[in-house]
Amino acid sequence: MQVLQAYKPFEIQEIELAVWKQRPVKNNFFELVLIQHGKGTQCINYNFYDYEQGSLFLLPPLKCHSFQIEKPTKFVFLKFTADFFNANGRAATSQSEWFKEAAYILSNYNQLPGDIIHNELDRQHIFSLIDLILKENSNYQSSSPALIKSLMSCVLEILLRNIKQSAAYEVAINVEKDDRVTKLLTYINENINQSQLLKVENLAKTFLLSPTYLSEFFRKKVKMSLREYIIKSKLKLVEIRLLNSDYTLTEIAAELSFTDVSHLSKTFKRYTGMSIRAFKKQGEYQLLKRGVC
């Protein structure tokens, strides 16, 4: 086993295994896994997907995932950690945007097994980026952190693009296949911090539907009201910020258009069943959990 410890914002690990060993799980944003060689099956929540050389996966922040190894397998794990998004990393606007995109991935990725990349050119891009990251990490210099940050940012952009364009996007779950639904939910999640754009009147105008029909259409297709979906989408982002950043409650409330901290706290407790203080102490996602074994 070879473990490569990068600088704080990311953890880089190369492991060759004949038998899978359960790894410790933390509430990181997510973890990208590249299969350098080998063969077997990925399992998440009793869902299975065969893997082979070149497969790329995202691991959810759940304990219920594993790999059943058929042929000895070399894994490369790139773990996105919280440190990158704290005060020092958030000073630059670009890092703030980086955080938002990482949060978008985690809050909308469906956490089912399967290869995350469906565009072969993008797959080659990620192979090249990971190769550069591993080489830079092995030949660490004072300038390495900035370069690795840049490379990881490119990886993130490619992941985001593929998630939006594939069944890995959460809106595909339990929703009748309908391009209008996918476009509507994508629009909502991309504009989740802009309350004016999420009003039913604006959504109806944007998607050329009447407000009444849009509300009924949404409830029928998504199995919940538009208001409930928007609130839950916001609270997933609240969970991510509470566990993975140093944003204050005032900042979170303002960014996600809650009236104030009191409104945020009451809404959070109503939908998660616990106070924000208890949630942070427990340190485990609630709304972001997609299921248990």
Residue 273 CB-density burial (10 A; 0-12 exposed, 13-18 middle, 19+ buried)? exposed
Contacts for 176 with CB less than 8 Å, ≥ 6 apart? 221
Q: So what's the pLDDT on residue 44? A: 75
What does the block give as tokens for 108? 């909308």
Q: What are 69-82's pLDDT values in tens digits?
A: 999 999 998 877 65
| Alpha-carbon radius of gyration of the chain | 20
Sequence-distant (6+) residues with CB within 8 A of 174 are 223
For the chain, residues classed under CATH 1.10.10.60 are: 171-282
Domain boundaries 171-282, corresponding CATH code? 1.10.10.60
Domain with CATH 2.60.120.280 in the chain: 2-169
Q: Residue 211: pLDDT above 80? A: yes
What architecture is the 2-169 domain classified under in CATH? Sandwich (2.60)
Q: How do residues 119-160 score in pLDDT, each as one tens digit? A: 889 999 999 999 999 998 888 888 887 788 788 878 878 887
pLDDT, tens digit, 9 for 90 and up, residues 56-69: 887 766 556 788 99
**What pLDDT is stored for residue 200 in this prediction?**
95
For the ranges 7-11, 95-99, 141-145, the lowest mean pLDDT is seen at 7-11
Lowest-pLDDT range of 62-66, 201-205, 289-293: 289-293
**Residue 90: band (very low, low, confident or very high) from pLDDT cuts 50, 70, 90:** very low
Are 52 and 69 within 8 A, CB to CB? no
Pseudo-torsion of CA 16, 18, 23, 28, nearest 10°?
50
Longest Cα–Cα distance in the chain: 60
pLDDT value at residue 286: 82
